[in-house]
Amino acid sequence: MTGPMKLLTATYLSAISCTAVLITGCANAPTTPPNTVVQEVQVPVPIECSIRWPDKPDINLGAIAKPEGLYLSWQMVLRELEAYRSYARQLEAALLKCSAKPSSHP
């Protein structure tokens, strides 16, 4: 055999060998599927927190600086303070709602 013929024969023999190996591998394939085990895994899934943020109270401390009397000025300051305390309580409630763990469903 000459060089090109020898190479062609070697290529055919390689192809036939590979085909035989593949066919043999498919013939020995298992007939029953492998045993599968279903296992429940509980993984926390982050969810988007959709809350309505409270409106920030308006503060107008510049109006308090007017000399309208000490008692009236203190009433205005206390009113502003109570508005901010209420705002802080609303913010805390909103944050607690978002940070609370969701209840687990059976």
Structural contact between residues 84 and 47, judged by C-beta atoms closer than 8 angstroms = no
Q: What are the boundaries of each domain within the chain?
A: 52-101
Q: What is the pTM for the complete model shown?
A: 0.46
Give the C-alpha separation, 46 to 98, whole Å.
11
- The identity of residue 79, as a single letter, is R
- Tokens for 72, please give them: 């009236």
pLDDT 10s per residue in the chain (106 long)?
Answer: 555 555 556 676 677 776 776 676 656 666 777 788 889 988 887 777 788 888 888 877 666 656 667 777 788 888 888 999 999 999 998 888 887 665 544 4
Range 64-72 contact pairs with CB under 8 angstroms and sequence separation of 24 or more: none
Structural contact between residues 95 and 52, judged by C-beta atoms closer than 8 angstroms = no
The DSSP letter of residue 28 is T
